[in-house]
Amino acid sequence: MICIPSEEFPFRLIFDSFFYEDVLKNALRNTPSNPPWTSKLTVINDRAKGCSRNFNTISQYIFDKIIEKDSVPRNRLRAMFMPVDEHTIEQIEDEIERTIKHAINLASLYKPHKALIMTSNETRAKYESNNHFKSSHLVLIASGEECLALIDFFYKKVERA
C-alpha cells in the first residue's frame, strides 16, 4: 500500500527573514535534527492537505533576496517555501507590516483561515506591537524555539513510517 501521509493543519505558516537568518540557520548549526530542519520544512510544505507545496509561505521579496544573497538554488528554496507575491502587499517596505498583511490576506482568502508568523525572539515584539497584528483575529505568532517545536510537531504528523 502506498503511503503518502498528509495532514490538514490548523493554520498556514508564514516565515520572515529573521526566521530564516536567525532561527533556521542557528538551528542547522547548533540544534541537529534528523532529518535536518530544512528537510522537515520541505516535507511539511509537500504534505499539507489542501495546500500542498503552498503551505510554508514567504514574501516574494525575501525569497528573491535569499537567492540573490545566498545563491540557494531556486528549486530547493521553492521546495521549502512558496513565495507569495500579492502585488500591493509586496510594495510595503516594512517587512513586519508586509508579513502581517500577507498573513491576513492568506488567512482571509484560503483555508485554513488562520496564519501563524514564524520569526525570531528578537523580532517578536515588533509584530506584537503592530496595530495590524493586534487588530486581527486571523494571525498568530511563534518565535525562536517555539518555531522549532512547531516544525517538529507538524513533521511528526506527516512523516512516513
Partner 1 sequence: MVISMNDTIVKDVILASDFKDFILSNITEIEMDLELKNDVLKYADNTLLEVTKGIGSLRIIDVKAIDDELVNDVLGTSR
Counting contacts by CB under 8 A, is residue 29 touching partner 1?
yes
Omega into 73 within 30° of 0, i.e. cis? no
Copy the grid coordinates of residue 112. Answer: 485554513
Counting contacts by CB under 8 A, is residue 3 touching partner 1?
yes
Residue type, 143: S
Nearest Cα to 118, choosing from 105, 131, 127, 110? 127
Backbone angles phi, psi at 66, to 5 degrees: -60, -45
Output 2 or 109, the one with its CB closest to partner 1: 2
- Whole-number minimum distance, CB 46 to partner 1, in Å? 5
- Whole-number minimum distance, CB 56 to partner 1, in Å? 12
The single-letter DSSP state of residue 138 is S
Binding mask 34-53 for partner 1 (x = CB under 8 A): -xx-xx--x---x-----xx
d(CA 132, CA 98): 10
Stretch that binds partner 1, among 20-28, 84-92, 105-113, 141-149 (CB under 8 A): 20-28
Which positions ≥6 away from 88 have C-beta within 8 Å?
none
Determine the size of the site formed for partner 1 (CB under 8 A).
25
Q: Could you say which residues in the range 68-97 bind partner 1, by CB under 8 A?
A: 70-73, 75-77, 79-80
Which spans of this chain sit near partner 1 (rule: CB under 8 A)?
1-4, 24-25, 28-29, 35-36, 38-39, 42, 46, 52-53, 70-73, 75-77, 79-80
